[in-house]
Amino acid sequence: MGDGEGAEVTIYDVAAAAGVAASTVSRALSKPGRVSFKTAEHVRRVAAELGYRSSRIELPLSQRGTGVLAVVVADIANPVFVGVVRGAERAADQHDLTLAVVETQESEAVEQRALARLEATVDGFVLASSRLTDQAIRAVAKRRAVVVLNRTVGSVPSVVSDNGRAITQAAEHLVGLGHTSIAYLAGPEASYADGTRWRSLREAGLELDVRVVRVGPHLPTLRGGGAAAAAWQQRPTTAVIAYNDLMAIGFIQAVTAAGRRVPADVSVVGFDDIVDAEIVRPPLTTIAAPTVDMGASAVGHLVSSRRDTARPSAPDGTTGEPVLLPAWLVVRASTGPAPAPAAAGGSAARRAPAPRPTG
């Protein structure tokens, strides 16, 4: 400690008096969530006794921050969120922050309750595939820093992939193979990304003069893909684009079991480029997005918000244009030339042996 009267007390003085490392003092005073409650209280008491002051310690507790960020995902079993969480975790670690992962089970009500419980314990949220309304998201953003992924919400920062351009690429790929009809296997009705993808496909259909239809909504799971296949077989098309890879894989499994061949009878395109897309047979043509970069970019924005202002909104009160990251088509073996006209509409299934109905 300084010897002269009025000498400034340093963080090293506090560390020596508290019997801890200087880095522990730093975390206790600026990011209490990074140390135990007992240690944080001990360091704060010693700092106060020594007369140590910093802009951080003089802030009200509600503005000091906890050093914890939360990534909220719709379904933790969905492989697409692995990249998002990985990117967010890496970025958080670089800034000495802790990342919590919360699952909402595709439920708006569960998501609302989770955010309400966590608001007091985290510095900000990354909402991946949120099922909340725009109004609900803006309400949360007034109280905590928020970044949404794959969605744009007015006055709330967002990171999105260029789904529209990627959907157009997929449609162009299919038209180039001779396809004249494409079905979109829709995901959850409350999904913003689902609506965006369907609108983009409809616009591409008009531009390319190809018929597009919507099948669904269905769950964004293997089972949901199977249900979509059952509905699709009532009015089959020569190609389908699924809401995500899990639905596409479930669709392939179901139509194959029904006697159809992929891609000889129907071409299939997924979305997300999960690990299983390369394992399934045939390997899945899909639209890939930089999910790791999306998670990292979202956390980067939250960190900037914490540094620039105590308010949870962006520094200037607005967000401007969303951060737009590229998405691209990955062509594999699940897409091929359109079947001959005589095979369309289900005759392909008659060519392949099908089980006789029983009972």
Q: Rounded distance, CA 269 to CA 284, Å?
A: 7
Are 226 and 251 spatial neighbours (Cβ–Cβ below 8 Å)? yes
Does residue 137 sit in the same domain as residue 273?
no
3-state secondary structure (DSSP) of residue 109: helix
Residue-level pLDDT at 120: 86
102 DSSP β-pair partners = 72
Which CATH number belongs to the domain containing residue 44 in this structure?
A: 1.10.260
Does residue 133 sit in the same domain as residue 265?
no
Residue-level pLDDT at 39: 84
Residue-level pLDDT at 4: 45
Cα torsion 89, 94, 96, 102 to 10°: value is: -10
Is the confidence at residue 354, as pLDDT, over 70? no
Is the confidence at residue 317, as pLDDT, over 50? no
Residue 2 domain flag: no
Residues in the chain: 359
Does residue 154 sit in the same domain as residue 303?
yes
CB-neighbour burial class of residue 152 (10 A; exposed 0-12, middle 13-18, buried 19+) = middle
Residue-level pLDDT at 61: 40
Domain count, the chain: 3
Mean pLDDT for all residues in the chain: 86
CA-based torsion, 275, 277, 280, 281: positive or negative: negative
Top-confidence range, 17-26, 127-136, 169-178, 337-346: 169-178
pLDDT digits (tens, 9 = 90+) for 30-69: 655 567 778 877 888 888 888 886 654 444 444 457 889 9
3-state secondary structure (DSSP) of residue 318: coil
Residue 347 domain flag: yes
Give the mean pLDDT of 63-76.
Answer: 85
Joined tokens for residue 263: 């891609």
pLDDT digits (tens, 9 = 90+) for 106-131: 899 999 999 999 998 899 999 998 99
Max Cα separation, the chain?
Answer: 98
Residue 356 domain flag: no
Residue-level pLDDT at 37: 72
Q: How sure is the predictor about 349, in pLDDT bands with cuts at 50, 70 and 90?
A: very low
Does residue 235 sit in the same domain as residue 173?
yes
3-state secondary structure (DSSP) of residue 235: coil
Residue 6 domain flag: no
Which CATH number belongs to the domain containing residue 189 in this structure?
A: 3.40.50.2300
> Under 8 Å CB-to-CB from 211, ≥6 apart: which residues?
180, 181, 182, 205, 237
3-state secondary structure (DSSP) of residue 136: helix
Does residue 75 sit in the same domain as residue 198?
no
Q: Which of 145, 156, 149, 84 is nearest to 119 (CA)?
A: 145
H/E stretch holding 325 reads strand 323-325
Q: Rounded distance, CA 95 to CA 31, Å?
A: 11
Does residue 114 sit in the same domain as residue 252?
no
Does residue 194 sit in the same domain as residue 230?
yes
Does residue 235 sit in the same domain as residue 346?
yes
Q: Which of 99, 100, 309, 35 is nearest to 26 (CA)?
A: 35
**Domain span holding position 28:** 11-63
Are 146 and 288 spatial neighbours (Cβ–Cβ below 8 Å)? no
Does residue 171 sit in the same domain as residue 276?
yes
Residue 1 domain flag: no
Q: How sure is the predictor about 222, in pLDDT bands with cuts at 50, 70 and 90?
A: very high
Residue-level pLDDT at 303: 87
Residue-level pLDDT at 71: 97
Does residue 16 sit in the same domain as residue 115?
no
**Ramachandran region of residue 219, left (φ > 0), alpha (ψ -120 to 50) or beta?**
beta
Give the mean pLDDT of 158-177.
Answer: 95
Q: Locate the DSSP E strands across 62-199.
A: 68-73, 98-103, 124-128, 145-149, 158-161, 181-185
Buried b (16+ CB within 10 A) or exposed e, 62-76: eebbbbbbbbbbbbe
What is the value of pTM for the model shown? 0.74
